[in-house]
């Protein structure tokens, strides 16, 4: 940079002005979001405690009586409910994304980033990456609790990876959905309350009880909503069985949600400039 | 490079609307490098103008050059040369001061080492070294402001936009920040700040641009603006200093002498001072006059 003013600032060698690339942005913001996650002791505690509690409640309290209706016992229900608990916990974990995105959008932070020479949208990618890390950690906790409670499986590495991969994909789906909610909501409080509905989605699926045991009018929704094939496929894989069509249907749902959410984010992000 | 020989700002017919709401109307302005203040009441369009000039929002019409660059078409190049410190702090509460600075440095494309060095320098300059390791959530309002401005300097901007930098600060912090802003200008950078405080514009700015209702009501040095309103005031005091009477005058020797002849005849012992208008009076006069003119324009002849 050359300048006519003979100042100290100008004489120092400098490489400023080009700005960071998308990769540096992504790295910087992922690190930032992870720091947020791990410094917020209460949220972190919730992220670990919630899956443990859900697992214990469903297996130890409801497990025996739900399983009895299906001619099984508590350990059968443990294997049955495992993917649903993992996804429910991930839903709560991902809802944090709406709050942090909304915070960034409604304070001066995003405005400054938008006047800097690098792609500001990497902030959202950083929040998404951190949410994946947080929620996969929670999934790990769910699996650990399941094994501690006596879950045993014949699933090989491939099946296990398939199940965890599908769960991870759904975590990505709800994270980007919550990120878009956080972007459109006027405040962090509004963002988290919009997301409330999403958190009940797993209960109206094949996750906690068989769809056939629900009232007829509910079966249509429960049987065809996106979480049902994802849960069915994950459950089959975790038990070492073949997931069948549920695998493809689940993948298609995830791909569709991500495509729509990314498109919405691309349209909305440049317009949502705080005045 | 283009920006070294160009005026700091060159606006020619700049207009901006949000939907149907017209926020800025036909702004024409050329400013040289230096410290300049954009002065106006709430809702005058100050923030919108700063947002347009700092590439945050696109303008609708007119020709706009900042450091010789078009904020719409040469956005990225301009972004490497300017920085915006808005009304709402752009610092991350959950990170420490040093982490905030380092993050901004990395985003500006500095290597980790350069970003670290630059962050240390700026933290020291703004007397934040002791608090550098603490989370920003624990900072006072004045410290946050300083960190916010310091973070804006990490990319060595040629032009720094400060949107109401001292709003909400106590008198001491305000004075300290004024000193910092002067130091910035001494180091070769230009500053374009918005303010509601005439005192602030008077104390800092080479040129003052008065914005009112989205239009430029006046622009010039503080002295020019004061003389534009023209009238000085002859004040008559009693012994206790109470003002007995104020006589408006054009300020010329002849006019003052004519008034004083009359005063001397009636009250030979009275204390007399001649007072130049304050910027407050200028401001009220300018914004009031413009409002009146616009009302007249709208009345069909």
Q: Tell me which chain B residues have a C-beta less than 8 angstroms from the C-beta of A21.
A: 109
What does the pLDDT look like over A211-260, one tens digit per residue? Answer: 999 999 999 999 999 999 999 999 999 998 888 899 999 999 999 999 99
- Distance, in Å, from the CA atom of A85 to the CA atom of A107, rounded to the nearest integer, reads 34
Is B288 in the same domain as B188? no
- Nearest Cα of chain A lies from the Cα of B189 at a distance, in angstroms, of 9
CA-nearest of A112, A113, A161, A118 to A21 is A118
What does the pLDDT look like over B147-202, one tens digit per residue? Answer: 999 999 998 899 999 999 988 888 888 888 899 899 888 888 999 999 988 888 88
pLDDT at B1 over 50: no
Nearest neighbour of A18 by CB, restricted to B48, B88, B109 = B109
User: Lowest-confidence range among A53-62, A162-171, B241-250?
Assistant: B241-250
pLDDT-based confidence at residue B3 (cuts at 50, 70, 90)? very low
pLDDT at B259 over 90: no
The angle formed by the CA atoms of residues A167, A170 and A172, to the nearest 5 degrees, is 115
The kind and range of the H/E element at A219 are: helix A216-224
Is B281 in the same domain as B152? no
Q: Which residue of B has its CA nearest to A22?
A: B107
- Distance, in Å, from the CA atom of A274 to the CA atom of A105, rounded to the nearest integer, reads 7
Is B145 in the same domain as B161? yes
Inside any domain, residue A69? yes
Is B123 in the same domain as B262? no
Region of residue B35 (phi > 0: left; psi between -120 and 50: alpha; otherwise: beta): beta
- Nearest Cα of chain A lies from the Cα of B3 at a distance, in angstroms, of 9
Q: Tell me which chain A residues have a C-beta less than 8 angstroms from the C-beta of B81.
A: 17
Q: What's the number of domains chain B is made of?
A: 2
Is A274 in the B-facing interface, judged by CB distances under 8 Å? yes
Is B149 in the same domain as B264? no
B251 and B230 in contact (C-beta within 8 Å)?
yes
pLDDT at A274 over 80: no
Nearest neighbour of A24 by CB, restricted to B87, B94, B106 = B106
pLDDT at B246 over 50: yes
Is B215 in the same domain as B239? no
Q: Do B108 and A3 touch (CB under 8 A)?
A: no
Inside any domain, residue A7? no
Give mean pLDDT, residues A39-60.
88
Surface-to-core class of residue A2, CB atoms within 10 Å of its CB (0-12 exposed, 13-18 middle, 19+ buried):
exposed
Q: pLDDT at position B293, please?
A: 57
| B230 vs B233, residue with greater confidence | B233
CA-nearest of B188, B183, B218, B224 to B206 is B224
Angle between helices A22-39 and A74-106 (to 10 degrees): 120
Is A45 in the B-facing interface, judged by CB distances under 8 Å? no
Burial readout B12-32 (b: 16 or more C-beta within 10 A, e: otherwise) = eebbbeeeeebbbbebebebe
pLDDT at B37 over 80: yes
Give mean pLDDT, residues B259-283.
81
Domain that holds residue B245: 229-298
Inside any domain, residue A233? yes
Give mean pLDDT, residues B220-241.
80
- Nearest Cα of chain A lies from the Cα of B28 at a distance, in angstroms, of 23
- Nearest Cα of chain A lies from the Cα of B82 at a distance, in angstroms, of 8
Is B29 in the same domain as B77? yes
Q: Do A19 and B51 touch (CB under 8 A)?
A: no
CATH number at residue B71: 3.40.50.300
pLDDT at B300 over 50: no
* Residue where a domain stops, chosen among B180, B203, B225: B225
* Residue where a domain stops, chosen among B225, B251, B268: B225
- Nearest Cα of chain B lies from the Cα of A236 at a distance, in angstroms, of 42
The overall average pLDDT reported for chain B is: 87
* Residue where a domain stops, chosen among B161, B191, B225: B225
Inside any domain, residue A160? yes
- Distance, in Å, from the CA atom of A124 to the CA atom of A26, rounded to the nearest integer, reads 9
The overall average pLDDT reported for chain A is: 87
Is B188 in the same domain as B263? no
Is A18 in the B-facing interface, judged by CB distances under 8 Å? yes
What does the pLDDT look like over A82-140, one tens digit per residue? Answer: 999 999 998 888 888 998 999 898 888 998 999 998 888 899 999 999 999 999 999 99
What is the pTM assigned to this prediction? 0.82
The kind and range of the H/E element at B38 are: strand B35-39
A115 and B83 in contact (C-beta within 8 Å)?
yes
Query: Would you state the structure tokens that stand for residue B2, as one six-digit string?
Result: 């283009």
Inside any domain, residue A9? no
Nearest neighbour of A2 by CB, restricted to B4, B89, B106 = B4
Q: Tell me which chain B residues have a C-beta less than 8 angstroms from the C-beta of A114.
A: 55-56
Is B209 in the same domain as B240? no
What own/partner pairs with CB < 8 Å and gap ≥ 24 does B66-70 have?
Answer: B66/B8, B66/B9, B66/B159, B67/B2, B67/B3, B67/B6, B67/B8, B67/B158, B67/B159, B68/B2, B68/B3, B68/B5, B68/B6, B68/B7, B69/B2, B69/B3
Q: What's the number of domains chain A is made of?
A: 1
Residue of B8, B109, B156, B160 for testing the chain A interface, max A β-carbons within 10 Å: B109
Is B168 in the same domain as B234? no
User: Lowest-confidence range among B121-135, B192-206, B235-249, B270-284?
Assistant: B270-284
pLDDT-based confidence at residue B276 (cuts at 50, 70, 90)? confident
Is B233 in the same domain as B139? no
Is B183 in the same domain as B118? yes
pLDDT-based confidence at residue A21 (cuts at 50, 70, 90)? confident
A1 and B1 in contact (C-beta within 8 Å)?
yes
Q: Do B188 and A18 touch (CB under 8 A)?
A: no
Is A74 in the B-facing interface, judged by CB distances under 8 Å? no
Highest mean pLDDT among A182-196, A202-216, B218-232: A202-216
What does the pLDDT look like over B75-128, one tens digit per residue? Answer: 989 999 999 998 888 999 999 999 999 999 999 989 999 999 999 999 999 999
Inside any domain, residue A208? yes
Inside any domain, residue A150? yes
Q: pLDDT at position B238, please?
A: 83
Surface-to-core class of residue B192, CB atoms within 10 Å of its CB (0-12 exposed, 13-18 middle, 19+ buried):
buried
pLDDT at B260 over 50: yes
Q: Do B108 and A116 touch (CB under 8 A)?
A: yes
pLDDT-based confidence at residue A6 (cuts at 50, 70, 90)? very low
Q: Do A118 and B47 touch (CB under 8 A)?
A: no
Domain that holds residue A215: 20-271
pLDDT-based confidence at residue B294 (cuts at 50, 70, 90)? low
Q: pLDDT at position A165, please?
A: 94
Give mean pLDDT, residues B49-71.
94
Inside any domain, residue A61? yes
Percent of chain A topping pLDDT 70: 93
| A68 vs B191, residue with greater confidence | B191
- Nearest Cα of chain A lies from the Cα of B103 at a distance, in angstroms, of 7
């Amino acid at each position: 940079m050359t300048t006519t003013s003979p100042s100290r600032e100008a004489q120092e060698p400098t490489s400023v002005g080009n700005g960071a690339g998308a990769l540096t942005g992504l790295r910087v913001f992922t690190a930032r979001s992870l720091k947020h996650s791990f410094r917020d002791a209460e949220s972190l505690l919730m992220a670990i405690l919630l899956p443990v509690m859900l697992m214990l409640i469903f297996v130890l309290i409801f497990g025996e009586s739900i399983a009895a209706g299906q001619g099984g016992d508590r350990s059968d229900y443990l294997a049955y409910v495992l993917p649903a608990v993992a996804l429910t916990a991930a839903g709560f974990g991902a809802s944090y994304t709406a709050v942090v995105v909304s915070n960034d959008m409604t304070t001066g932070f995003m405005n400054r980033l938008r006047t800097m020479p690098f792609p500001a949208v990497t902030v959202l990618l950083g929040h998404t990456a951190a949410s994946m890390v947080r929620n996969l950690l929670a999934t790990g906790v769910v699996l650990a609790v399941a094994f501690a409670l006596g879950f045993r499986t014949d699933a090989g590495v491939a099946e296990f990876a398939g199940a965890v991969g599908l769960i991870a994909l759904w975590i990505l789906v709800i994270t980007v959905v919550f990120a878009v909610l956080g972007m459109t909501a006027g405040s962090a409080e509004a963002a988290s309350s919009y997301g409330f509905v999403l958190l009940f989605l797993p209960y109206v699926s094949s996750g906690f009880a068989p769809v056939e045991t629900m009232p007829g009018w509910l079966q249509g929704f429960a049987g065809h909503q996106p979480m049902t094939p994802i849960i069915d496929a994950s459950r089959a894989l975790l038990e070492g069985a073949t997931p069948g069509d549920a695998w493809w249907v689940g993948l298609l749902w995830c791909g569709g949600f991500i495509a729509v959410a990314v498109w919405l984010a691309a349209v909305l992000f440049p317009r949502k400039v705080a005045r | 490079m283009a920006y070294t020989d160009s005026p700091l700002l060159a606006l020619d017919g700049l207009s901006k609307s949000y939907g149907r709401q017209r926020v800025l109307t036909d702004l024409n302005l050329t400013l040289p490098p230096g410290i300049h203040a954009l002065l106006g009441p709430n809702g005058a369009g100050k923030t919108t103008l700063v947002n347009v000039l700092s590439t945050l929002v696109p303008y609708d019409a007119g020709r706009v050059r900042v450091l010789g660059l078009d904020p719409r078409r040469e956005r990225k190049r301009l972004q490497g040369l300017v920085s915006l410190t808005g009304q709402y702090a752009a610092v991350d509460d959950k990170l420490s001061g040093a982490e905030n600075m380092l993050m901004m440095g990395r985003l500006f494309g500095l290597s980790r080492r350069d970003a670290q060095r630059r962050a240390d320098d700026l933290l020291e300059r703004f007397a934040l070294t002791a608090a550098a390791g603490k989370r920003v959530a624990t900072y006072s309002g004045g410290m946050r402001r300083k960190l916010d401005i310091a973070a804006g300097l990490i990319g060595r901007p040629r032009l720094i936009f400060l949107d109401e930098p001292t709003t909400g600060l106590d008198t001491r912090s305000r004075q300290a920040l004024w000193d910092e802003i002067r130091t910035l200008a001494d180091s070769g950078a230009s500053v374009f700040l918005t303010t509601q405080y005439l005192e602030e514009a008077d104390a800092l700015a080479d040129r003052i641009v008065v914005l009112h209702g989205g239009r430029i009501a006046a622009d010039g040095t503080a002295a020019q603006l004061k003389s534009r309103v023209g009238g000085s005031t002859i004040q008559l005091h009693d012994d206790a200093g109470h003002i007995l009477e104020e006589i408006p005058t054009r300020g010329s020797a002849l006019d003052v002498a004519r008034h004083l002849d009359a005063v001397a005849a009636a009250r030979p012992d009275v204390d007399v001072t001649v007072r130049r208008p304050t910027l407050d009076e200028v401001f009220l006069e300018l914004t009031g006059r413009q409002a009146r003119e616009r009302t007249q324009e709208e009345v069909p002849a």
